[in-house]
Amino acid sequence: MLNNLVPATPAKPNLRLRITAAAQTSVRNGHPWVYADSVREQNREGGAGEIAAIFDRNDRFLAVGLFDPLSPIRVRILHVGKPAKIDSSWFEDKFKSAIGRRDAMFDRSTNGYRCINGENDGWPGLVLDRYAETYVLKIYTAAWLPNLTEVLALIPGECVVLRLSRNIQEFAKTQFNVVDGQTLRGDVPNAAVIFLENGLRFEADVVRGQKTGFFLDQRENRRNVEGLSRGKSVLNAFSFSGGFSVYAARGGAKSVASLDISQHALASAQRNFDLNKDVIALTHETIQADAFAWIKEAKRNFDLIVLDPPSLAKRESEKVEAMRAYARLIGNAIERLNKNGILVAASCSAHVHADEFFQLARRAAEASARKFEELETTRNAADHPVTFPEGDYLKCIYLKFS
């Protein structure tokens, strides 16, 4: 197994790299990425997915990782410290420990969760999500492409779907003949899989949907919203497939509206409502509109508003404008809140740090001149562990306005 992790041609010497002093320090401190411009020496050209050993200036072994000639992230670290043999049993152990951690987190009312959270679980550039008996393997680096068969052998479940980040799709097709959404095992009828989250039923479009089909990372916030919704009129802005809406409805909301720009997302939200008819009595309203404009101009108010926009800063250069946009959005949403109204504002931009986001939300609340109380702030859920700054993206603040 994982034969391809050994250089493809045995005659070739192992791939060896030296990197800058700054990069050495960062790797020693546990950062999982070595950028191309930090590579000082390389003994030969490397192929996607080769194991690269990194040595320090004194020729001492520093770390070992997966080489990716196509990405500015040239090596993704698998192991730092003492030399280690990266073979199939090493990967099997890592796999078992990641899966074992999740087994302890969920009971039978939840069978949709993240099993492997990339770098944060020691699997750089690889995510594995479970939806009942279907597993979705999403890869963000070409380095895993030569090793798919071996990784697949570790994954349980009746069905395994492969998802590819956009930047590697072309290479995957031309070099490995694999495409985004391909089933590696079993079959996904109609592309949708039904799974359970805290006893609620949801569909996930594992073949074409965003991420791996569902925003599993918001589970805890959805649960919190359920607990805050009794008797309230709820607006779920940027609703996607209605996760927050369904929880609010089960929590006893008096009305629930899902607002999204995508008709496709709203149709899925309605289906998710219908899937939970046995526990929800409410009719669900869907509003297809640009949420930024709709919230600014709406003539209606709500008792609870969820704001969960897509990442507004995909790169560092967009951060300042993104922070302004978040602040405007939050300010406009506060104006749509009734007395004792609650705002739940999330951000999934890694470039906007949690303290910056919380601060801008508090400032927008102060600028509203309404009295408010901060109920809570939350971060990533336990099945989405975070071990390095770039992996730390999700934060959410709960504010109540009198």
Residues that bind ligand SAH (CB under 6 A): 215, 218, 238-241, 243-244, 260-262, 265, 290-292, 308-310
Nearer residue to ligand SAH within complex by CB, 115 or 269? 269
Nearer residue to ligand SAH within complex by CB, 215 or 358? 215
Q: How far is the CB of 25 from ligand SAH (least distance, A)?
A: 36
Distance separating alpha carbons of residues 358 and 35, to the nearest angstrom: 30
Asked if 160 and 212 count as a contact pair (C-beta separation under 8 A), the reply is no
A 10 A CB-CB count for 318 gives 16
Q: How far is the CB of 309 from ligand SAH (least distance, A)?
A: 6
3-state secondary structure of 12: coil
- Distance from the Cα of residue 120 to its chain's centroid: 12
Give the CB-side neighbour count of residue 189, counting CA atoms within 13 A. 1
Please list, residue by residue across 38-57, b when 16 or more beta carbons sit within 10 angstroms of its beta carbon and e when fewer do.
bbeeeeeebbbbbbbbbbee
- Distance from the Cα of residue 286 to its chain's centroid: 25
Q: How far is the CB of 292 from ligand SAH (least distance, A)?
A: 5
Q: How far is the CB of 61 from ligand SAH (least distance, A)?
A: 43
List residues bridging with 77 in a β-sheet: 65
Helix (H) or strand (E) holding 39: strand 39-42
Q: How far is the CB of 229 from ligand SAH (least distance, A)?
A: 14
Nearer residue to ligand SAH within complex by CB, 39 or 361? 361
Asked if 341 and 300 count as a contact pair (C-beta separation under 8 A), the reply is no
Asked if 212 and 237 count as a contact pair (C-beta separation under 8 A), the reply is no
Nearer residue to ligand SAH within complex by CB, 71 or 268? 268
Q: How far is the CB of 290 from ligand SAH (least distance, A)?
A: 4
Nearer residue to ligand SAH within complex by CB, 94 or 395? 395
Supply 95's token pair. 């796999």
Distance separating alpha carbons of residues 398 and 376, to the nearest angstrom: 5
Distance separating alpha carbons of residues 136 and 138, to the nearest angstrom: 6
Nearer residue to ligand SAH within complex by CB, 202 or 358? 202
Q: How far is the CB of 341 from ligand SAH (least distance, A)?
A: 19
3-state secondary structure of 10: coil
Nearer residue to ligand SAH within complex by CB, 18 or 114? 114
Nearer residue to ligand SAH within complex by CB, 125 or 243? 243
A 10 A CB-CB count for 18 gives 18
Q: How far is the CB of 219 from ligand SAH (least distance, A)?
A: 9
Nearer residue to ligand SAH within complex by CB, 92 or 318? 318
Supply 189's token pair. 């009828």
Q: How far is the CB of 243 from ligand SAH (least distance, A)?
A: 4
Three-state SS annotation for 280-291:
CCCCEEEEECCH
Distance separating alpha carbons of residues 327 and 352, to the nearest angstrom: 12
